[in-house]
Amino acid sequence: MSSFGDLQHGLKRTCKYLMLLFMAAYSAGVAPTATSQATRTLDCRNPDQYRLVVVDNPNRKKASDGIIPTDLNIVVGDEVIARIELPNGDSVKNFSLDSIKKNKVGFEIRTNWGASLYYYEVQFNFRCKENKFYLYRVTKISLSTTNPDSGSFWDKKETKVTTIKPNLLIKKFVMIEYL
């Protein structure tokens, strides 16, 4: 049977060992946080490994905003590994998030915005590389009205496909810059 002193000595030794492991991990740049754990274990080529979730973000709301802004969160387990701020109708006229779909290489986001004379549809394509998501292509369809008095609206259509080279890491992506 061990004494209380032996037990106390064993606990001190264990605590010192754990502290040394923590310090070694931290100095190597791999601090044991939930975010780094989730990022390391993400296999973004497996669509079941992550979720694409639209959430309200009241922290972005300004006094002049009519509605609470929303974000698109990329979630692994319970951890948000990336966040895309979605524009609101005040910053981009009549902005709408049409769809978010996973595909074989990653996922795509489809949006539209505009009004009676000018209307835009924009598709953002993200791919998985090295277990991270990167923007690699933006497709923008612009519809415009050349003669509003004719009653024929959106009679001119232009499509522009932009390949992003080098691909842009999702954490550096700002949607409004590509609209």
Reading the block at residue 153, the tokens are: 């609206």
23: how many CB neighbours lie within 10 A of its CB? 10
pLDDT digits (tens, 9 = 90+) for 141-164: 999 988 888 888 888 999 999 999
Give residue 79's pLDDT band: very low, low, confident or very high (50, 70, 90): very high
Find all residues with CB under 8 Å of 156, minimum gap 6, and list them.
Answer: 143, 144, 145, 146
What residues does each domain of the chain span? Answer: 1-32, 34-178
State if pTM tops 0.85: no
pLDDT digits (tens, 9 = 90+) for 34-66: 333 334 467 777 888 899 999 998 888 877 777
φ, ψ of residue 79 in degrees (nearest 5): -105, 135
Residues 147 and 5: their CA atoms lie apart, in Å, by 91
In this structure, are residues 145 and 117 in contact, taking their beta carbons and an 8 Å threshold? yes
